[in-house]
Amino acid sequence: MKKSLWLTITAMAVLAGCSSTDADQQRQIEMLAQSRASVLSSGLPVEQGPLSIMKAAANKGTVEIMMIYNTDAKGAKPLDTVLRTSMNFYCTDREVKSNLEMGLSYRIKIRNSRGQLMVDQIVTKDYCDNPTAN
């Protein structure tokens, strides 16, 4: 009986230690997301030709970035080209890739000039490791 009780207590302690570590890691990712969103927000809005980055915010462990893309503007490229270029940046930039490897994710929302949602793409380490599956 004592051995069974001791094993149960030990198992509970191990599980509690694991969940505490997971909770600490999640808090760390959430703080990183908040920090990245704050840094990005401080320089907004950013306009680059027909693309305007309007908002960056943290939502749990995700940095959400809202952009407006004027497809009618001079020099505007097709939206799929813009998205492919953006995803390439997120998956190859050293700092962003490091954040993705830590568990952070980015959510890219692109709206047209009328405010209609055109793209809602989540970028994670898994996405970057196998972009053709997404």
Q: What is the CATH number of the domain that holds 64?
A: 3.30.300.250
Q: What is the pLDDT of residues 22-41, one digit of tens each?
A: 788 888 899 899 999 998 89
- Tell me the H-state helices in the chain: 2-42, 79-92, 94-102, 125-129
Note whether residue 18 is domain-resident: no
Note whether residue 77 is domain-resident: yes
Note whether residue 110 is domain-resident: yes
CA 37 to chain CA centroid, Å, is 10
Note whether residue 1 is domain-resident: no
Note whether residue 86 is domain-resident: yes
Note whether residue 17 is domain-resident: no
Note whether residue 10 is domain-resident: no
Q: What is the pLDDT of residues 56-100, one digit of tens each?
A: 999 999 999 999 999 888 888 998 998 888 889 999 999 999 999
Note whether residue 14 is domain-resident: no
- Whether residue 117 is predicted with pLDDT greater than 90 in this model: the reply is yes
Give the structural domain span for 97.
23-129
| DSSP class of 29 | H
Total structural domains within the chain = 1
